[in-house]
A and B are shown apart, each in its own frame.
Chain A
Amino acid sequence: MNLEVGDCEIHSVIGPNGAGKSTLAYLLMGIGGYDPEEGSVRFNEEDITKFTITQRAKRGITLAWQEPARFEGLTVHDYLSIGAGGAGNVSESTLHHALEMVDLSPDNYLSREVSEALSGGERKRIEMASIFTMKTKLVILDEPDSGIDVVSLKEVIALIQDLKKNGSSVLVITHREEIAAASDRASLMCDGMIVKTGSPAGISDFFKNKCKPCDVETYGLKEE
């Protein structure tokens, strides 16, 4: 496959279940067990294929999981502080601002545990808040809309655009047409390959109306 995400670009990856979209996200983040068999991952001209997750994070790459992890005993304050570089390096106002960005009240959430006590939707918002405390250059979002209601979908799209405004590129793995439509570019992934890259509308239309399993071979890696 060949996938390029531009500077301050929102780039969606869509495709059927099992296409390998989440695997792509893990591979880009350097998650163990998802190492590329061949090829390379490059970030700002630097080959980061062998880099650890931490090394990538320190270069400004981060990932928000489809189903965020739960942390018994770790408060929202602790969690956001980690993203911001440690408890000693972050101001309270930064943490407050990050929570307000995801529409959560700091007074109600900072002391709560990032555990089962929070709903999946709340944990997703807190994960997004932790990203807002970081100095990111590339944010990989794996299905940021899953477990989110329709009303909140608009907020998710707004948050993705906020990341861009803050100077990040955003790679979004999604099934939602609305999110893809809010992107600058989109790619269709199928069977572990990027089939086509182009305008969100064109890629969505192609996926819905023209794509068949055999199209991977037919269309190859064409730019629209």
Chain B
Amino acid sequence: MDIIQLDTAKEFAAMEDAYECSGGDSSVLKMADVSNLVISGNKILSANQTEGVVLKKKSTESGVDIVLTIKKGHTIPNPVHLCFGVLPKEGLQQINVTMIAEEDASVELIAHCTFPNAEHVVHKMDGRIFIHRNASLRYNETHFHGDKGGVEVIPKAKVKIEEGGRYHTGFTLITGKVGLLDLDYEVDAGKDAICELNAKVYGKGNDKILIKEKVLLNGENARSVIKSRVAISDNAFAEFTGVTEGHAPYARGHVDCVEVVQGNAVAKAVPIVMVDNPLAKVTHEAAIGSVDKKQVDTLMARGLDESEAIDAIVKGMLK
């Protein structure tokens, strides 16, 4: 990994700029009543914890190890902001993160991952998320990549939701070129748990997008939705695998995948649904194809040309 030569203040300012590029509001990173963590490469540039939030972090050779705990019974009023980035052209960033929402806790996390100058950057994230009884954790992650496509993003997460817990996650990568995305999330949903996994990715050039999301509905009345929206053009490749297994009575799951293909791009969708309890029910729908002709014709009849119409439709789908 490159050694970052900038001093910390300049690096923080550069991360703020990158954070803005990825759609974040960098002013929140300086607010006393907002928990945050800003990491550039393996450097911790900023960390703030508010009441109910316990943030442990340790710099490692190639990244940072993090344990984030939301204490029992606390509802965190402001979203916790996380910012991960690699500013140089090359580098490896390995983030190992454990998130714990204790019983009856509630939190929203907003993460921005930014690699604006990447030519060969590897960003790996290994996550372990524990959502205890009746706790709620929302985690939305937005990526900003440069236009060179030199990024490998490899996020892996294992999530356990206890009785009555709620987990919502959104992964968005629609700005810049993807490079390689190899996302692999697995959720174990307990009794009365609710789980929603969303992914939105726009691939171009030679981007390669691999998304695997798996939910095990192990508890009675557990509910889940896996929703994926992928648009690819040029010579990009995308493969979505959505797995939902219903193992308990009254468990309900749904897998919903839409992939829009343009140019020479290739898309695959593999919904896998499995039920071994007669009272469980899991459904799926998947659609792959070009942009709907009637949608394009409608917007053209409002004055857009064909490429503008396709762009508006794809951006809407990924919004």
A interface residue numbers (CB < 8 A to B): 29, 31-32, 52-54, 56-58, 62-63, 65, 68-74, 78, 82-83, 85, 130, 134
Asked if B297 and A31 sit within 8 Å, CB to CB, the answer is: yes
> 1/0 contact trace for B271-294 toward A, CB 8 Å?
000000000000000000000111
Docked Cα-Cα span, A74 to B312, in Å, equals: 8
A102 to chain B, nearest CB (A): 16
B9 to chain A, nearest CB (A): 37
Judged by a CB distance under 8 angstroms, whether B313 is at the interface is yes
Asked if A72 and B317 sit within 8 Å, CB to CB, the answer is: yes
- Name the residue of chain B whose CB is nearest to the CB of A130: B302
Our pick among A57, A85, A134 for the contact of B300 (Cβ within 8 Å) is A57
Our pick among B258, B297, B299, B318 for the contact of A82 (Cβ within 8 Å) is B299
Docked Cα-Cα span, A65 to B296, in Å, equals: 13
Docked Cα-Cα span, A175 to B313, in Å, equals: 32
Asked if A57 and B303 sit within 8 Å, CB to CB, the answer is: yes
Tell me whether chain A's interface is mostly helix, strand or loop, or mixed. Answer: mixed
- Name the residue of chain B whose CB is nearest to the CB of A52: B300
B229 to chain A, nearest CB (A): 8
Tell me whether chain B's interface is mostly helix, strand or loop, or mixed. Answer: helix
Asked if B316 and A78 sit within 8 Å, CB to CB, the answer is: yes
Docked Cα-Cα span, A130 to B298, in Å, equals: 11
Asked if B317 and A54 sit within 8 Å, CB to CB, the answer is: no
Asked if B302 and A62 sit within 8 Å, CB to CB, the answer is: yes
Asked if B301 and A63 sit within 8 Å, CB to CB, the answer is: yes
Asked if A54 and B312 sit within 8 Å, CB to CB, the answer is: no
Q: Which residues of A contact B302 (CB under 8 A)?
A: 57, 62, 82-83, 130, 134
A77 to chain B, nearest CB (A): 12
Our pick among A32, A58, A70, A71 for the contact of B303 (Cβ within 8 Å) is A58
Asked if B298 and A29 sit within 8 Å, CB to CB, the answer is: no
A and B contact pairs by CB, cutoff 8 A, 8 listed: A52-B305, A53-B297, A57-B302, A71-B316, A72-B229, A72-B316, A82-B302, A134-B302
Asked if A74 and B316 sit within 8 Å, CB to CB, the answer is: yes
Number of interface residues of B (CB under 8 A): 23
Asked if B298 and A65 sit within 8 Å, CB to CB, the answer is: yes
Asked if B316 and A85 sit within 8 Å, CB to CB, the answer is: no
Asked if A82 and B303 sit within 8 Å, CB to CB, the answer is: yes
- Name the residue of chain A whose CB is nearest to the CB of B200: A73
Q: Which residues of A contact B295 (CB under 8 A)?
A: 69-71
Asked if B301 and A74 sit within 8 Å, CB to CB, the answer is: no
Q: Which residues of B contact A52 (CB under 8 A)?
A: 300, 305-306
Q: Which residues of A contact B292 (CB under 8 A)?
A: 69
In order of increasing CB-CB distance, the 3 nearest A-B pairs are: A73-B316, A74-B316, A53-B300
Asked if A71 and B313 sit within 8 Å, CB to CB, the answer is: yes
Asked if A73 and B301 sit within 8 Å, CB to CB, the answer is: no
Q: Which of A63, A71, A134 has the largest number of chain B CB atoms within 10 A?
A: A71
Asked if B298 and A69 sit within 8 Å, CB to CB, the answer is: yes
Asked if B303 and A85 sit within 8 Å, CB to CB, the answer is: yes
Judged by a CB distance under 8 angstroms, whether B319 is at the interface is yes
B46 to chain A, nearest CB (A): 33
Docked Cα-Cα span, A71 to B293, in Å, equals: 12
B134 to chain A, nearest CB (A): 29
A82 in contact with B316 given A53-B297, A71-B295 (CB within 8 Å): no
A82 in contact with B305 given A68-B298, A69-B294 (CB within 8 Å): no
A73 to chain B, nearest CB (A): 3
Our pick among B298, B305, B306, B317 for the contact of A73 (Cβ within 8 Å) is B317
- Name the residue of chain A whose CB is nearest to the CB of B318: A73
Q: Which residues of B contact A83 (CB under 8 A)?
A: 302-303
Judged by a CB distance under 8 angstroms, whether B270 is at the interface is no
B318 to chain A, nearest CB (A): 7
Asked if A82 and B312 sit within 8 Å, CB to CB, the answer is: yes
B311 to chain A, nearest CB (A): 11
Docked Cα-Cα span, A62 to B298, in Å, equals: 9
Q: Which residues of B contact A72 (CB under 8 A)?
A: 229, 258, 316-317
Judged by a CB distance under 8 angstroms, whether B13 is at the interface is no
Q: Which residues of A contact B297 (CB under 8 A)?
A: 29, 31-32, 53, 69
Q: Which residues of B contact A63 (CB under 8 A)?
A: 301
